[in-house]
Amino acid sequence: MVSGQMRPATDAPADGAGTAGGVKLVTVLGATGSVGQSTLDVIGRNPHLFQVEAVTANSNAKALAQMAVRCKARLAVLADETRYGELRECLSGSGIEAAAGAGALAEAAARPADCVLAAISGAAGLMPTLAAVSQGRRVALANKECLVSAGRIFMEAVRKAGAELVPVDSEHSAVFQLLASAEPEAIERIVLTASGGPFRTWSLDRLERATPEQALKHPNWSMGRKITIDSATLMNKGLELIEAYHLFSVAPAQLEVVVHPQSIVHALVGFRDGSMLAQLADPDMRTPVALGLSWPARIDTPTRRIDLVELGTLSFERPDETRFRALGLARGAMETGGMAAYRPASFTNTGTSTPFSSRTATRSALVRTPGGSGTPNVTRVLVPTAVVWGARRTVAVAACAEGASPATASPRMSRVIVWCDMGERLPRSAPEEEPP
């Protein structure tokens, strides 16, 4: 950890309760990403309800400093220790603490606050989010990898700490609301919706000629680059199946996906009496973010209101797993044990001649990793063909061992190398985009 000797927030209650006027203290992990920005927008519109305790980012010192000043945060933290000096300089004279490094991220997540919005992209968000969970407070969860790669470990940590977990993904937020007063035994099925992405109606032949630029043009949502690419292949929806499996304690057979091009219905829940409830909202992340911050209350947001007459039609169709194989692979991971290690193909090099279908095709492999008791655990690893370039093989890393204790960080994350014969040579890709 690198810091200017981080000090405790002395004017905040030690138990994480809100300020004297009933204003809730919020820490935003991953503030410069799309969900983080939506969160700060919601907070900025409701200064009578929320105050920012800390904001974090990966390496963009200037953007983080500007956000920290704008939202009057008490602390700003970068994951990249080498950018600490730049961050401190940007915050000079503001009265805002600056810190950097993995330890500083964990400390920021554990500072007294009423809610921690966890939106760090990728597996880098796991440890800071666990640090927040360990304090037994509300965690508004927007990071997928906490559940996709460490679901059992993460949910056990939530239970042990007595933390309150509120999902922020629009689909899981919808299910969370629909199940608020439901008896578990009454739930028959949970249906997540997928827009189908920009290639919903494309043939396999046309997909061979698709470009990454086209994949980044999502028809409904404005999101970060990684999640937008994952949405184009339905890999994102596959990961959301695994998330739902851990969040709602249902059997894999009770989880379904339907394609809903309008992205108005975010999820549905069917009950044993034959009734089905649905949650509708404009596709704007500020709605689930606001709910994550304020639940069970509901607060004003500037999102567009739905006019059913104007919409006219809400359509649904089954996903085509022949063209979008990632969905089936993710379901297989869920049925195997509900955990997966996934590294997306690089999408920053849009000048490559590699077809989009080759860049995003996935394979899977079963991996045995040692558990805490020495017995192997089986984890399915989703392997994209473009992870490694210039060879007939590809590699996936960072599969999770299920049996280790959440209290020990490094031993729990087993770095497992899995070789899968792809049968084709791939050109070198550019480095993967750095998360915000």
Report which of 81, 59, 57, 58 is spatially closest to residue 67, judged by C-alpha positions: 57
Residues of the chain under the 50 pLDDT cut: 3-17, 343-354, 358-436
Residue 274: what residue type? G
Residues whose CB falls within 8 Å of the CB of residue 131, separated by 6 or more in sequence, listed in order: 105, 106, 107, 109, 110
Residues whose CB falls within 8 Å of the CB of residue 112, separated by 6 or more in sequence, listed in order: 8, 9, 12, 13, 14, 15, 16, 17, 25, 53
CATH 3.40.50.720 at 2-168, yes or no: yes
From CA 11, how far away is CA 30, in angstroms rounded? 24
pLDDT value at residue 126: 94
User: Any idea where the domains of the chain sit in the sequence?
Assistant: 2-168, 172-311, 339-421
pLDDT value at residue 38: 97
- 71 close to 44: Cβ distance less than 8 angstroms: yes
Q: Is 431 helix (H, G, I), strand (E, B) or coil?
A: coil
Q: Dump the DSSP string for 3-54.
A: ES-----TTS-TT----TTSPEEEEEETTTSHHHHHHHHHHHH-TTTEEEEE
Q: What is the pLDDT of residues 305-328, one digit of tens each?
A: 999 999 999 999 999 888 878 888
3-state helix, strand, coil in the chain (%, to 5): 35, 20, 45
From CA 373, how far away is CA 403, in angstroms rounded? 7
Q: Is 275 helix (H, G, I), strand (E, B) or coil?
A: coil
Query: Model's pTM, two decimal places?
Result: 0.78
pLDDT value at residue 410: 32
